[in-house]
Amino acid sequence: MTSDVEAMKPGLVSEENRSDDELRQLEQDYRSLHDKAQRLITERVSLESDVNKLKKRTARLDEEIRMLKSPPLIIGHIQDVLNDESAIVRSSNGTVFQVAVNQRLGLSRLKPGTRVALNQDTLAVTDILHDAWDPLVSGAELIESPNIEYDHIGGLDEQIEKLREAIELPLEHPELFIKVGIEPPKGVLLVGPPGCGKTMIAKAVASQTNATFIRMVGSELAQKYIGEGGRMVRELFSLAREKAPSIIFLDEIDAIGAKRLDASTSGDREVQRTLMQLLAELDGFDALESVKIIAATNRPDILDDALLRPGRFDRIVEIPLPDESARKSILSIHVGRMATTRISMPRIVEATNGFTGADLKATCVEAGMVAIRDKRSKVRQADFTQAIQIVAKKRDSGPSSNASAVLYV
């Protein structure tokens, strides 16, 4: 009996071992299937996310296609608002209609002159548009300020002080003028020979002030068709009021500000219309509270008297030819940036009598070119002497000379 039981034990042990092996194999299979299921779940979540992204992109593309296929809208202007549901509009072709108004636009924003979009079929007002600016006017706003400071301008300390008092002070501290009980100057006119620093001062103002700076050349306002120049002037001041506080710089204002005579051509009459619009904006019913004007010209003798009277350009700042101290200041600024050796500043200042600021800068450039031509890294006194002779020869010959070889040495 005992022997029979002992004979059965190896069989039982082998069966138990086989059961353990099968159990371990089942556990391994379970873990493998569990890991595979987790991977499949992760892949499904990733695929669902990709599908959602594709659906959103498809919806966005469908919306863009729908917008591209939608009929165009007509641009018009509100003439009058009759009631909460209708208004009188003038379309882009000049025709006047009574149309329906979309209630969601906000009727308080619909005023005579408002620029709106009209449905092509029903001409109903569907949207309110912002005012459109001429590209020349909208592009006149200075985005990046010039890298010029007041310290870079020599010999014009008094003129810069007058300009800052009339332009920057009213914008930065208007309460001072309210306390004193006076109205600040509207604008400053810079006059003086070419090359004396009028435009450079305006660049320094644009760089130093926090106000919006809008620059425009007078010749850009002289347009071909009737009313175009006046419209651009009106939009220029309207843009300045919207961007206030702002500064308008009109360079070469004599292009549109010449004295009004009996014009013989339509072009002259159109320039006069532009001037009259400018006069109206400077001294019209619309106040220029936070808008200041700087103008520059080298021909003040031909400007119209109405442009020069007080109330328009309250300050006329003359930028003269630099005297001895001014020439020394200007040369110190330019020479201070150069690599020089053994130069006599008083001799250079004395030799440049009658030079403008531009001539002095050209002298420094010519002196540097002479040194470079001789393969030297520093500028000497002899280089400045030669440069002064070159610039003086160009000034004395002038552009009226027939010998072009004299101009380009």
Residues 346-403: pLDDT tens digits?
Answer: 898 888 888 888 888 899 999 999 999 988 888 998 888 899 898 888 877 755 444 3
| Structural domain 74-128, CATH architecture | Beta Barrel (2.40)
| H/E element, 16 | helix 2-69
* Token pair of 135 as six digits: 């590209």
Q: What distances in angstroms separate CA 80 from CA 90, 115, 295, one per listed residue?
A: 10, 12, 39
Could you give the 3-state DSSP secondary structure of residue 19?
helix
Please report, as a single letter, which amino acid is at residue 3. Answer: S
Helix (H, G, I), strand (E, B) or coil at 366: helix
Which region among 51-65, 271-285, 358-372 has the lowest average model confidence (pLDDT)?
A: 271-285
Average pLDDT over residues 54-70: 85
Alpha-carbon gap, residue 20 to 392, rounded angstroms: 111
Per-residue buried b or exposed e for 294-304, using 16+ beta carbons within 10 Å of the residue's own CB: bbbbbebeebb
Burial class (CB in 10 A: 0-12, 13-18, 19+), 160: middle
pLDDT digits (tens, 9 = 90+) for 2-53: 555 555 555 656 677 777 778 888 888 888 888 889 999 999 999 999 999 9
Answer whether residue 323 shows pLDDT above 60.
yes
Q: Is 265 left (phi over 0), alpha (psi -120 to 50) or beta?
A: beta
The highest-level CATH class for domain 137-318 is alpha beta
For 159-208, how does the pLDDT look when each residue is reduced to its tens digit (9 = 90+)? 888 888 888 888 888 888 888 888 888 888 999 888 888 888 888 888 88
d(CA 287, CA 64) in angstroms, rounded, equals: 44
DSSP notation for 46-115? HHHHHHHHHHHHHHHHHHHHHHHHSPPPEEEEEEEE-SSSEEEEEETTS-EEEEEB-GGG-GGG--TT-E
Residue 209: partners with Cβ closer than 8 Å, 6 or more residues away: 167, 168, 171, 247
Phi, psi of 19 (to 5 degrees): -65, -40
Q: Is 384 exposed, middle or buried (0-12, 13-18, 19+ CB in 10 A)?
A: buried
**The tokens of 81 are what?**
């608002």
- pLDDT exceeds cutoff 80 at 409: no
User: What whole-number distance in Å separates Cα of residue 204 and Cα of residue 198?
Assistant: 10
Q: What is the architecture of the domain spanning 324-407? A: Orthogonal Bundle (1.10)
For residue 137, give the amino acid letter. V
pTM over cut 0.85: no
In whole angstroms, what is the distance from residue 357 CA to residue 224 CA? 36
Exposure class string for 120-141: b at 16+ Cβ within 10 A, else e = eeebbbbeeeeeebbeebeebe
